[in-house]
Structure 1
Amino acid sequence: MRARLTHVLLPVLLLVAPALRAEVTLFPAADPAAPPTEMVVYSSLDTALAAPLLAAFQKAHPGLSIRYEDLLTGEIHDRIVAESDGPGRTADFVFSSAMDLQVKLVNDGYGRRTVTPDTADWPDWAMWRETAYALTYEPAVFAWHRPSFANHPPPATRADLMRWMADHPDEARGRIGTYDITRSGVGYLFLARDQDLFPGIWQVIAAMGASGVQQYPTSGDLLSRISTGEIAVGYNLLGSYVAEWARQHPDTVGMTLPRDFTVVVSRVALVPRAAAHPDLGEALLAWLMSPDGQAELSHSLRLPAVSLEVAGGQTPSGALDDLTGLRLKPVPVGPGLLAYLDQATRARLIERWQQALSP
């Protein structure tokens, strides 16, 4: 695996658009004397995590500046649709953790078929119609407060979690956290996959409800409370954010990949049909799928690459655990994801969730 780039171009413009809650950052061209070219990226990846990726790509394209818009996943979908249907153009590249919404864009004709040098070798589960490509491999993990488990091991399976709640009711009461699935798209997807893979999940959810589970819309909300000990265990958190918090707070935040089964989601990329500069979007996609791009993704997000030969089946040093022996259950990129967007299906799952959590 190639060495991580340490040079990151500092953004020169930071705007906040309250209506969309978008963070817009301009990464200037490495060579200001080169003919000016600007590409636009819509993404749900935090700007701080995206910066080294963009800097590495710009190193190979010194005349390219990048307008990076950090948006909520629903806003990304809605803007691509509105701008594609309008008289103008839209972003050149889209990168989102909402796998279902990305597949919906492709299904509804808003994506551009893009064949890269690595398409032929890409895993079947990780692409659809040679248009939507999974680029990351992000497990749903348990996060935990290290001092709270100084005298006994943290849960490593869902059965362990239930035993801990039963054996340590005072420690568990009000100190279990997870996503609010009515406000978190990835939280909803994790629960839907839990239900698909494990019929006993509702016993786990009911036990969490009996212990006064706390629900939050974002990973940051959960991890800040785990770091202080307000929350002892976080269930089904997105591994990329937990890995970074565990690195920055090694004395307070721990992370475990569930040993019974581990749901894996991906950030999905596509080039929009109405991209202003589709050639630039295709170039970025091709680079992110290349061994160099996958290695940079793996380092920046501290996660396994989809292209596992890049990482040798393991994560970068100090990131997630070795994946050997885990029952990994990746969510396939394809039309099956559209079922999760069905409003009746969503309403039934949310209703069952709320009933299971009710005392």
Structure 2
Amino acid sequence: MIRFALCFLLFASAAPAQEAVQRFGPEDAAVTLRLRTTTDIAIFAPTVEAFLDTAPGVAILYEQWGSNDLYALSREDCASGRKAADIIISSAVHQMVKLVNDRCAASWRSPATQAVPSGLKWRDELWGITREPAVMVYNRALVPPDEVPLTRFDLLDLLRPQDSRYAGRVATYDIEASGLGFLFAFIDSQEASTFGALMETFARTGAIATCCSAEIIGGVIEGDYLIAYNVLGSYARSVAAIDSRLGIVEPRDYTVVLSRAAMLPGPDVRPEAGAFLDYLVSTEGKIAMARSFLISGGGEDESGSDASDNETARRPIRLSPSLLVAVDQANATRFIRRWREVFAQ
């Protein structure tokens, strides 16, 4: 059963805080791989188990982290020369590009990785393994069908009236708490002519910025929020599959598509870790991830629109040095300062 506990409160300490841990595979396994990832255990467990069915004698110690904490810990490990993890997978792909750029990853070449499209790999050290759209979600019982926003322009129209009933009832990621939320917002600022208007409107109407997918999706289902913006589609679809109150829209003006990035920390690679990566980018791995909505190829969304009609509006995030702009300290500081001004309330 899909859990709503997709993210947990972090400890007050500044030290990176692990969110959850679980072991998969036999206790007496000859090899135990350490996987560190931002992906919720309940979402990724079926894929891990499917891989282990192909790898007798291998176990996986699964560590779930928040994206910012995982990035900080990985940088510390890299700087000190520790190899604490065998594979790292994060939704904050701009942070992963930075780790690779800082020589924290090992190279891995195999027939499986060589078949990965160029936009989903970089330097044989980073690979995109999922296809997850950034969506809008809404409460189907509380948002009338003719008010479901199908584009960002529609969302602006809902919030434009001074007495809009959506004021204070729209949520999105807190970009300071969520590396993924930062990335989605940063890409919006580069892609969308509506970004400035959205920021102004969010500020004027008291939009809510909160930490993570679970809190946002749960708030929409319970009616605390009516609509949420830039939610990760894989988590939304997993919940919608068991709770009909949640509706989902891939924005028709454009839909950002994320591929979680996987890397093998250097300097060397355990063969079993390479085999796990090969599985994730293989046809079998994609089928396993699709069952958990980590691979999205369209289909009808819960607004009643056909997401396959939106393929031309999909904008994949390419794994490339261009993402380093998002982790540049000066750029990030300016962007977060602007965001704070919006959500000062």
In 2, the alpha carbon distance for the partners of 1:114 and 1:78 equals: 23
Matching of residue 255 in structure 1 with residue 248 in structure 2: yes
> How big is the shift at 1:231?
0.3
Matching of residue 280 in structure 1 with residue 265 in structure 2: no
Q: 1:341 is matched by which residue type in structure 2?
A: V
**Matching residue of 2:283:** 291
Backbone CA RMSD of aligned residues: 2.7
Matching of residue 22 in structure 1 with residue 7 in structure 2: no
Give TM-score, length-normalised by structure 1. 0.85
> How big is the shift at 1:210?
1.5
Which of 299, 306, 315 is the aligned partner of 1:329?
315
**Matching residue of 1:308:** none
Matching of residue 77 in structure 1 with residue 63 in structure 2: no
Which stretch shifts more, 263-272 or 283-292? 263-272
List aligned pairs for 1:103-252, cutoff 5 A.
Answer: 103-150=97-144, 152-167=146-161, 169-250=163-244, 252=245
> How big is the shift at 1:145?
0.8
List aligned pairs for 1:53-68, cutoff 5 A.
Answer: 53-68=47-62
- Secondary structure of 1:171 counterpart: coil
In 1, the alpha carbon distance for the partners of 2:301 and 2:190 equals: 32
In 1, the alpha carbon distance for the partners of 2:122 and 2:145 equals: 47
Q: 1:131 is matched by which residue type in structure 2?
A: E
CA 210–282 in structure 1, closer or farther in 2 if over 3 Å, else same: same
CA 211–59 in structure 1, closer or farther in 2 if over 3 Å, else same: same
Counting aligned pairs with the same residue, the percent is 28
In 2, the alpha carbon distance for the partners of 1:354 and 1:48 equals: 32
> How big is the shift at 1:318?
8.7
In 2, the alpha carbon distance for the partners of 1:188 and 1:138 equals: 16
In 1, the alpha carbon distance for the partners of 2:10 and 2:206 equals: 36
In 2, the alpha carbon distance for the partners of 1:317 and 1:300 equals: 16
**Which structure 2 segments of 5+ residues have no match?**
2-8
> How big is the shift at 1:88?
4.8
CA 44–315 in structure 1, closer or farther in 2 if over 3 Å, else same: farther
CA 86–118 in structure 1, closer or farther in 2 if over 3 Å, else same: same
Give TM-score, length-normalised by structure 2. 0.88
In 2, the alpha carbon distance for the partners of 1:257 and 1:102 equals: 25
**Matching residue of 2:4:** none
**Which structure 1 segments of 5+ residues have no match?**
1-5, 7-15, 305-312
- Contact 1:244–1:302 (CA<8 Å) still a contact in 2? no
> How big is the shift at 1:21?
2.9
Q: 1:91 is matched by which residue type in structure 2?
A: A
Which of 330, 335, 339 is the aligned partner of 1:349?
335
- Secondary structure of 1:193 counterpart: helix
> How big is the shift at 1:268?
0.2
